[in-house]
Structure 1
Amino acid sequence: MLAEGKRIYRSSKEMKMELDTLGKEWAEYEATAKVGEEEEKSVEAKWERIKDFISSIEVKI
């Protein structure tokens, strides 16, 4: 009975460490995703300006 309790304790402790690690990794993934989203918005804005510029040149030609 005591051995079973120790096994369960050890197993739950290992699971907690894994969850803590995953929590830290998740925070890193979220930060990376946020940076990616900001870059995507920036690229979209630049692309819109390029399209507007091309349109304005086409009108003059």
Structure 2
Amino acid sequence: MFISGKPIGFGYKIWTMSSANGYPYALKIYAGRDERKKNEPLGMKVIEEMISVLERPEKHE
């Protein structure tokens, strides 16, 4: 993502899904556009990928 005035025009995003106690379930490092062309927002894609590692998502709030 380019932001004018920012010294470097690129960066990373690190997404993590953790329990209420702070234990991580999943970690995703985002470094740029995904090759799959979907018209979903980035946050929606990340949430769907993170939830897929849980066996029973309804148990985790």
Q: Which TM bucket (shorter chain)?
A: under 0.3
Structure index of larger Rg = 1
| Structure with more contact order per residue of length (Cα contacts < 8 Å, sep ≥ 6) | 2
Q: Which has the higher helix share?
A: 1
Q: TM-score, normalised by structure 1?
A: 0.23
Q: Which has the higher strand share?
A: 2
Q: TM-score, normalised by structure 2?
A: 0.23
